[in-house]
Amino acid sequence: MVNRIIPALLLLLLGSSYVISASADVTLAVPTDVLEDYQSSFGVQPEPVRYDFPGSRRDVVEVILVQRALREGGVAEADLRPMDGYLRILQQLAEGKVALSGTSVWDFDARDMVEHLWVSSPLIRRGEFVVGVYTRAGHPILSQPQDLSALTQYTPVTSRNWKMDWSLLEQMGFSRIQYASSWESMVRMVLAGRADIVLAPFPQGNDLRIVAEDGRYLVPVPGIKVAFPAERVIAVAKNYPSADATFSALQKGLKILREQGEIERAYTQCGFFNPAVAAWTLINP
């Protein structure tokens, strides 16, 4: 079901001279689980002034940022369409079935479809996507020297669909990589001892544990972090109606949000840029 978000107050503040079309049908493809969490927090109410709301995380915050960027650029309204699967979202964009991604995608994935997609200026710049190396409580790795050569003796788990993750693991020197079909499966494999580590964004706050569905949890290897050598962008379908205007509006809005410090503030308040690990060592500089 398409969910229409109409922030009437912001439309009044922006004024009609900035609006591309009062009936613009700009559709954002949003992962189903992300849209469910977004709606459970806000419904059809205006988004928050702060980004540290309960359940806040990177991709939910990006839905807010993309809509705000579009409004700053003059797009009056947007539809949020649930869609399962990262690759399916990219394919639907390439086919012009939706206007743009409601959450960020890796820049190289969008550039691989450059005949069909425009690539926005980055929401997350190169090196800013920083993650922890997570394992189960009590694992020997937690009490060993924290360097890359020691780390690569262990077995990580990731998804074959997460090209950035497994490519980075290979570049770092891991030779025994396990694969799973979903994040939940990865967590279960680490907890069951069938894999040793998994890369994961740090959660909000100082408690860096990732809690599984059964109440057990993963903990980060202390003092180290990993940065992905790529950007996260918004992909815009070239074959969607009013695509030129939509892309121009998005770029204008992202520039405004960047200059205002809104993008960095959003990622910091939701915990994606986590101050608790600011001094930790980057092991893949």
Q: Is the pLDDT of residue 22 over 60?
A: no
Residue 175 tokens, joined:
């030779």
Q: Is the pLDDT of residue 99 over 90?
A: yes
Give the model's pLDDT for residue 147.
84
Q: Name the pLDDT band for 12 (thresholds 50, 70, 90).
A: very low
Q: Is the pLDDT of residue 266 over 80?
A: yes
129-156: average pLDDT:
93
Q: Is the pLDDT of residue 177 over 70?
A: yes
Domains of the chain: 3-126+231-276 (3.40.190.10), 130-227 (3.40.190.10)
147 versus 89: which is more confidently predicted? 89
Q: Name the pLDDT band for 1 (thresholds 50, 70, 90).
A: very low
Give the model's pLDDT for residue 52.
87
Q: Name the pLDDT band for 13 (thresholds 50, 70, 90).
A: very low
Give the model's pLDDT for residue 67.
94
Q: Name the pLDDT band for 43 (thresholds 50, 70, 90).
A: low
Give the model's pLDDT for residue 15.
33
Average pLDDT score over the chain: 88
Give the model's pLDDT for residue 203.
87
Q: Name the pLDDT band for 222 (thresholds 50, 70, 90).
A: very high
Q: Name the pLDDT band for 196 (thresholds 50, 70, 90).
A: very high
Q: Is the pLDDT of residue 274 over 70?
A: yes
Q: Is the pLDDT of residue 158 over 70?
A: yes
Instruction: Give Rg (Cα) of the chain.
Output: 20
